[in-house]
Amino acid sequence: MYILWFLCVSFWFQTDRFEEARHKMVTDQLAKRGIKEKSVLEAMRKVPRHLLVPESQKDNAYLDRPLPIGQGQTISQPYIVALMTEQIHPEKDMKVLEIGTGSGYQAAVLAELVKEVYTVEIVSELGKKAKSDLKELGYENVSVKIGDGYQGWAEHAPYDAIIVTAAPEEVPKPLLDQLKEGGRMIIPVGPVGQTQELLLVEKIDGEIKKTKKSLVRFVPFTRSPQAD
């Protein structure tokens, strides 16, 4: 009986601690740094980031920094996730493509905001784990594919918006083709291991408009060895 009571108290303490840290993250790291969209702030307040990082990183889940998630990949700092999400102007009826599933955290945030999320991860181990974790958390509007993100996911195109969480040296043409008219893509672009530009790419009357939003540093955009 005492052991059961202890486990219950421990679980409550852990849950309460992470919830408090998540609220503080939204207030101090996001709202105070210029994230204004209420729906984005609410989604970031709701998604349990500590359940989408490795066990060794749980205590760091709500710190303002990227975290390692294995296989040489990282999860972006919360501010960058919020910034990129805000830039696509998420709406409840939207269909969004994410390139670079990673831990599944960005996909979970999007799932709180839009109708459908399609996410592609080239690292099989990460993609499988993210798919399992997202399902366990109840996100039924997220579809995960293991594959070369450069090619996007043409089967479900066109997309209202695209978020890319790794940095190619130029915007992949297949992603431009899969972006619908009036759509928005947010993508880091630049050389490997150097500072990159976070670009907002818009398709307007068939033309592509690119706007620089910030300087960032993302992991490189990985392609399949068999890719052309």
Query: Which residue intervals of the chain are DSSP H helices?
Result: 2-24, 38-46, 78-87, 105-111, 124-136, 173-178
Is the CA virtual torsion 141, 146, 150, 152 positive or negative?
negative
Q: Which two tokens stand for residue 124?
A: 């099989």
Instruction: Name the catalytic one among 39, 76, 143, 224.
Output: 76
- The DSSP 8-state label assigned to residue 211 in this structure reads E
- What string of DSSP letters covers 137-166? TT-TTEEEEES-GGG--GGG--EEEEEE-S
- The DSSP 8-state label assigned to residue 54 in this structure reads -
- Please give the single-letter amino acid code of residue 204: I
Using CA atoms, how far apart are residues 194 and 196, in angstroms rounded to an integer?
A: 6
3-state secondary structure of 88: coil
Q: Does the annotation count 132 as an active-site position? A: no
Supply the residues annotated as catalytic.
76
